[in-house]
Amino acid sequence: MAPAARVARALWPGGCALAWRLGGRPQLLLPTQNRAGFAGAAGGPAPVAATRKGSPRLLGAAALALGGALGLYHTARWHLRAQDLHAEHSATQLSLSSHLQLTLYQYKTCPFCSKVRAFLDFHALPYQVVEVNPVRRAEIKFSSYRKVPILVAQVGENSQQLNDSSVIISALKTYLVSGQPLEEIIAYYPAMKAVNDQGKEVTEFGNKYWLMLDEKEAQQVYGGKEARTEEMKWRQWVDDWLVHLISPNVYRTPTEALASFDYIVREGKFGAVEGAVAKYMGAAAMYLISKRLKSRHHLQDNVREDLYEAANKWVAAVGKDRPFMGGQRPNLADLAVYGVLRVMEGLDAFDDLMQHTHIQPWYLRVERAITEASPAH
């Protein structure tokens, strides 16, 4: 394959993690045994009425006042307990993260890689970055899995390789919450071979949107079944839909394609000759490929409209009553959407997105949350 074509296939959504949507998606293995169980949020004690028939109004008023006082007491107690659990959870995560040495192999402009960085930064996990040359890919010659991101996690004497952005995020979050050995956690996300609708064999991973937690841990993270289901649904939406809107938008016109590859060359790891070839031949190749992607994913003639609709759909799902889908803090779905959209910063597609949709306030809130949490590395 020519260098320019390899660059075009390697960078942005088309080749950095899972190349195309699967035509015949394998049945994902649902979690089993105690790590997969999840009980609904425990309900509070039912209100008790203890007034006797024919009792005076004064007694009824006193009972009402007592009930209100008890309600306030239990609300305050629940709030303080939630704060204690959050502090305890944060301390546990800090202790576990101090034992991790992480190395992320990436293309900086890859949305899947950006998604992983958003997770690592928000959870204050220090990590080393190895920028992979998209033509030679010598930096990942140790791996039979040839896509990025790849994360190598060193825990004591043991080194574990994690592949696929969603698996990396789910496995690390499970580790931070449960403290299970990382090698055992990885086994919950088996690699599976499948054939996509182009007849090409690809690797998919089972259970990749699940956190492998017991009931107590799941309650601590989510608070209820609905929150867990919602997070998983939107994480999958990011991988199945949102990420496929990036390339058609950043390569929409020859001018935009050239600007995108100028950014890719500046931020990526290229030699002088490779950079020049990538900038011009890669831009031309991706402009043409983006037209095929537009047809493949049944996008509108003006692909910006699909991007705008996706952004507004996400904002509507978050709603007006909470700053993030995760409530007061971004959850894994918030971080995934932010990470994917972030790769367009500095390009016309990003400016148009901020101007023509309602996503900017949410986007800036996530950006602020990550900045405040992330360590210097």
Query: What is the CA angle 256-238-268, rounded to 5?
Result: 45
- Tell me whether residue 338 is one of the annotated catalytic residues: no
Out of 16, 38, 105, 113, the active site residue is: 113
Out of 16, 110, 119, 251, the active site residue is: 110
Out of 105, 107, 127, 270, the active site residue is: 107
- Tell me whether residue 110 is one of the annotated catalytic residues: yes
Secondary structure string (H, E, C) spanning 53-107? CCCCHHHHHHHHHHHHHHHHHHHHHHHHHHHHHHHHHHHHHHHHHCCEEEEEEEC
Q: Which two tokens stand for residue 119?
A: 């997770």
Within 10 angstroms of residue 85's Cβ, the number of other Cβ atoms is 12
Out of 38, 105, 112, 127, the active site residue is: 112
- Tell me whether residue 205 is one of the annotated catalytic residues: no
- Tell me whether residue 222 is one of the annotated catalytic residues: no
Name the residues annotated as catalytic.
Answer: 107, 110, 112-113
